Amino acid sequence: MNPWVKQREISRLLLTPPYKVLVKASHSVGKTWLAAALTSWWFDTHPENSAVITTAPTARDVKDLLWMEVRRQRRGARVPGLDADFIGDKAPEMGDGDRFAKGFTANTGESFQGRHFRHMLFIFDEAIGVDPIFWETVKGMFQADGNHAWLAIFNPTDTSSQAYAEEMMTGLDGLPAWHPLTMPATEHPNVLEELAGRPQPYPGAVSLAQLDTWVAEWCEPIGAGEADPAQGDFEWRPGSGSWHRPGPLFDSRACGRWPRQGSYGVWSDLAWAMATTPAEHHVAAGELPVIGADLASTGGDYTEFHTRWGTHSLAHERHNGWLEDQSAGRLKVMCAELAARASARQPSGKAPVRPQDIPVHYDGDGRGGSLATHKGDFKFVSIKASSDPRAAGKFPNRRSELWFGTVMLARAGQVNLSRLDRDAQNRLRQEAMSPRWKLDAAGRQVVEKKDETKRRLKKSPDGMDALNLAYVRPAEWSAPSSAPAPEVAREGRRMGDAGMARGRGGRGLFGL
């Protein structure tokens, strides 16, 4: 399907009752390009008593994305006088007296209420994050008489958003209140042409290689006999015989459709099986053992310690009723034991590893924060679950990043729990399978709060929190050259980002 055909269809529908078009767009299919082109189209074809009002959730969305594209297109059009329409060097607006176009930010309370022109086009870019009050404001200004039009375009990530509610609405005539359209990456000309063995016609937009990556990262492989159209299961590539079940990220960012479920499990059975299957133990040169520590917050919870060295977990222990000084004392003993093991592997002539060299990663929020008063000169490192993530565009907080980081490492062959005793494995598996996650309005992966998991699990997932902390890597880490290649985990990948540590060469994202 030619994207310009799709975009012309959107332009046509803006001039067709009810004069409102709601576009669920995939990633990298040109939605901001389209919004910018329509801004100029309306501005240039309605020279008198007209206005184009655009809004988006953040100043970056407005100024650095949409309006930067408006300027780029107008300057590239080489039409005399177009560039002179702009007001100021970087202001998101243009006008010449009887008409104007302007961008507003939809998270500052900045309002465009009270503006009334005969010809008006309203554009909501990244509309999934536009607050309901702005939708209501435009409804108070919008007139369905053919002189006004309204475009809302977005990645459909959040079914609790106003954009979702708008799609479900009907007008007084019982017909849909909007023209709903999708722009799926699977139908983009680049993908279709490359599948046919021809070069992509629109460099810079979504590509076949990019879609291959999304399938590997955001879908779960299934057998052909398991394929269920109701689940959105599909064959990729066409004719390959390989079937996949899409996760919410693939639904929204590749298919341009709402996720079919409100929340998903962080771990899958397949990922856990990969993490508990015996495998060769890899330790990078100079890499020391690490302890993850999660201190109990209430009397009914357990303080849990998880020890890892390289790709494998060595031990897991739990204690009930311990105070901070007891926990700190035990951690120092563990550091001494691990330092002795690491020293035994040191090359001849190299200084032995000190107990103070062994990293102890602990949750600095809540009760765990008091460990700092007992650490002395030991390497106790605070990692706060409530702090900002390293990948702010993927996760809203460090807790979500910690959970997904461990899963992705497991799928890359970098987490192995096979040396733990069966009871520890069973307890950890129950905890791993309990937390749910969903996409927020910004399309980030949000793991539910610990209290929500605790209500469903009937206990706190302290063991997995300790495990997640143990597997945090330093920012400069990269997998050893002898580590399993990414294809080891290919079947298990279903969620997350290709930049996460994924076997050979992964670095940084899941770091301190």
The domains of the chain are located at 3-183, 189-259, 269-492
C-alpha–C-alpha distance, residues 30 and 33, integer Å: 5
Residue with tokens 């109990």: 296
pLDDT by residue (tens digit) across 328-365? 999 999 999 999 999 999 988 899 999 999 999 999 98
| Model pTM above 0.75 | no
With H, G, I as helix, E, B as strand and everything else as coil, classify residue 98: coil
Q: Per CATH, which fold does 269-492 belong to? A: Nucleotidyltransferase; domain 5 (3.30.420)
Phi-psi region at 373: left, alpha or beta (left = phi > 0; alpha = psi -120 to 50) = alpha
C-beta of residue 133 within 8 angstroms of C-beta of residue 55: no
139-147: average pLDDT: 93
Angle made by CA atoms 287, 288, 294, in degrees to the nearest 5: 125
Bond before 237 cis per omega within 30 degrees: yes
User: Read out DSSP for 230-299?
Assistant: GGT-EESSTTS--EEEE-HHHHHHTS-S--SSS-EESS-HHHHHHHHS-------TTPPPEEEEE--SST
C-beta of residue 511 within 8 angstroms of C-beta of residue 359: no
Strands 179-183 and 99-105: unpaired
- In this predicted structure, what is the pLDDT of residue 171? 76
- In this predicted structure, what is the pLDDT of residue 172? 75
| 293 backbone dihedrals φ, ψ, rounded to 5° | -130, 125
Closest CA to 128 of 361, 443, 347, 454: 443
C-alpha–C-alpha distance, residues 477 and 404, integer Å: 17
Neighbours of 135 (CB within 10 A): 21
pLDDT by residue (tens digit) across 307-316? 999 999 999 9
H or E element, residue 163: helix 162-168
Instruction: Give the pLDDT band of residue 67 (cuts 50, 70, 90).
Output: very high
Closest CA to 395 of 448, 441, 445: 445
490-511: average pLDDT: 35
128-149: average pLDDT: 91
For domain 3-183, say whether CATH 3.20.20.120 is its number.
no
DSSP code for 106? T
pLDDT by residue (tens digit) across 89-113? 567 889 887 898 999 887 654 556 6
What residue type is assigned to position 193 of the chain? E
The CA–CA distances, whole Å, from 145 to 9, 15, 113, 142, 278 equal 20, 10, 19, 9, 68
Instruction: Give the pLDDT band of residue 486 (cuts 50, 70, 90).
Output: very low
pLDDT by residue (tens digit) across 36-55? 999 999 999 998 999 999 99
Residue with tokens 């008198």: 48
Lowest mean pLDDT among 200-204, 474-478, 508-512: 508-512
In the chain, what are the helix, strand and coil shares in percent, each to the nearest 5?
A: 35, 20, 45
Closest CA to 69 of 31, 106, 42, 104: 31
- In this predicted structure, what is the pLDDT of residue 479? 55
pLDDT by residue (tens digit) across 217-250? 888 888 899 888 877 899 999 999 999 989 888 9
Are 3-183 and 269-492 in the same CATH fold?
no
C-alpha–C-alpha distance, residues 131 and 106, integer Å: 7
C-alpha–C-alpha distance, residues 348 and 67, integer Å: 63
Instruction: Give the pLDDT band of residue 417 (cuts 50, 70, 90).
Output: very high
C-alpha–C-alpha distance, residues 353 and 106, integer Å: 55
Most confident of the following: 199-213, 361-375, 440-454: 199-213
C-beta of residue 479 within 8 angstroms of C-beta of residue 505: yes
Q: How far is CA 423 from the centre of its chain?
A: 33
Contacts of 88 (CB under 8 A, 6+ apart): none
The CA–CA distances, whole Å, from 244 to 223, 377, 467 equal 8, 51, 29
413-429: average pLDDT: 93
Instruction: Give the pLDDT band of residue 388 (cuts 50, 70, 90).
Output: very high
Predicted confidence (pLDDT) at residue 173 exceeds the cutoff of 70: yes
C-alpha–C-alpha distance, residues 142 and 23, integer Å: 18
